[in-house]
Amino acid sequence: MKEKWLNVSFRYGAVVVIIGVLAFFSVTLPYFWTYDNLMDILGSIAIVTFVAIGVTLSLIVDGFDLSVGATVSLTTVVSASLMVWYEQPVAVVIVVSLVVGALVGLLNSLLIIKLRIPDLLATLAIMYIVSGIHKTYAQGYTIYNHMQFPDGSKAPGEISPAFLLLGQGKWLGIPISVILLLLAVVAVHIFLTYTKHGRQMYVTGGNEEAARLSGIRVKKVRTLAYVASGVFAAIAGILYASRVGSGQIDAGSPLLMEAVAAVFVGFSVFGAGKPNVIGTFIGAVLIGVLVNGLTMMNVQYFAHDIVKGVVLVLALAVTFYVLNRRRT
């Protein structure tokens, strides 16, 4: 009986916590379940979920990418500056931003795979480097339409309306950022679950030596995971600049910890016990629901982290307690 209860807790403990949070806000907030509010929640988590997908991919190959927040900041500034400073078309802006994210991921993989620096230390170093680069590039300024430079001159361009649609536009009443997010979650889930390369990532993360002996090119797999992490962070940066209509330095700094929280909550969804994109998405939804509900209840913003932390502990405690019991 006890073992059966533990199995149920392992599979559904986090889901029960999420349902409990939804039920609480539904009872206390009459407008919580309105369509507009639900779209606001999904729209608010789109950016952090793209970051979290990148972290998920790095964790799958037994790594950890701490540089994603800095990559978001860099691509936010780069995308805005290309339009405001250099008057580049949207297609060029998106391609260049994605290439920048991929290069950051490639640099991470070079340090980790070629120089054998531990993941946390390598990506921490890159985080500081990228953070310094984007601040130096922007000279510490927020980039906005026709901004004024220190010499008194003004930037010639402005953020393209077509670019703003990515973060602010809607299609059939659904935010375009939410549509992009759902497509990304489904695509990554299919890739990880049903393709050879996706399964190779899990095998590599589970036992790198066994993966190598079975013929998997583990260095290539890990490299692709970090490049993909950088690309997803770049997508988040593009959406951030589109959403706020400017390029803000340090825009991605607060996103790292929320992304990591979403990923680890994802471990506990349906008893996965491992990084998975569906769990990551549900974890991001939980965080978005908490922030939305607490804001509607007029809870002071500096108390949000306390509540989020408590709920995350509840969601994770049951799963990892049971998981550790199973291993002993």
Co-location of 102 and 136 in the same domain: yes
Co-location of 119 and 157 in the same domain: yes
Whether residue 320 lies inside any domain: the answer is: yes
Whether residue 61 lies inside any domain: the answer is: yes
Co-location of 244 and 271 in the same domain: no
Co-location of 11 and 62 in the same domain: no
For residue 31, give the 3-state DSSP assignment: coil
**Alpha-carbon 28 to chain mean position:** 30
| Helix residue spans in the chain (DSSP H) | 2-28, 35-60, 68-84, 90-109, 119-138, 161-168, 176-194, 196-206, 208-213, 218-244, 255-268, 277-296, 304-327
Question: Measuring CA to CA, which residue among 108, 99, 112 is closest to residue 126?
Answer: 108
Q: Counting Cβ atoms within 10 Å, is residue 76 exposed (0-12), middle (13-18) or buried (19+)?
A: buried
Whether residue 34 lies inside any domain: the answer is: no
Co-location of 203 and 327 in the same domain: no
Of 253, 272, 293, which marks where a domain is finished? Answer: 253
Q: What is the DSSP letter of 110?
A: I
Co-location of 13 and 50 in the same domain: no
Co-location of 62 and 25 in the same domain: no
Whether residue 37 lies inside any domain: the answer is: no
pTM given for the model: 0.93
Co-location of 150 and 19 in the same domain: no
Co-location of 202 and 320 in the same domain: no
Cα 259 to Cα 17: distance, rounded to the nearest angstrom? 19
Whether residue 290 lies inside any domain: the answer is: yes
Whether residue 35 lies inside any domain: the answer is: no
Of 253, 277, 311, which marks where a domain is finished? Answer: 253
Q: What are phi and psi of 155, to 5 degrees?
A: -65, 140
Co-location of 154 and 297 in the same domain: no
Q: What is the DSSP letter of 81?
A: H
Domain that holds residue 317: 1-29+258-328
Cα 32 to Cα 279: distance, rounded to the nearest angstrom? 23
The domain total for the chain is 2
pLDDT in tens, the chain (328 residues): 666 665 666 666 667 777 888 889 989 888 888 888 889 889 889 999 999 999 999 999 999 999 999 999 999 999 999 999 999 999 999 999 999 999 999 999 999 999 999 999 999 999 999 999 999 999 989 999 999 988 889 999 999 999 999 999 999 889 999 999 999 999 999 999 999 999 999 999 999 999 998 999 999 999 999 999 999 999 999 999 999 999 999 999 889 988 988 888 887 776 567 889 998 998 898 888 888 898 899 888 778 888 778 877 776 776 666 666 655 6
Whether residue 71 lies inside any domain: the answer is: yes
Co-location of 24 and 76 in the same domain: no
Of 226, 253, 280, which marks where a domain is finished? Answer: 253
Co-location of 102 and 232 in the same domain: yes
Whether residue 36 lies inside any domain: the answer is: no
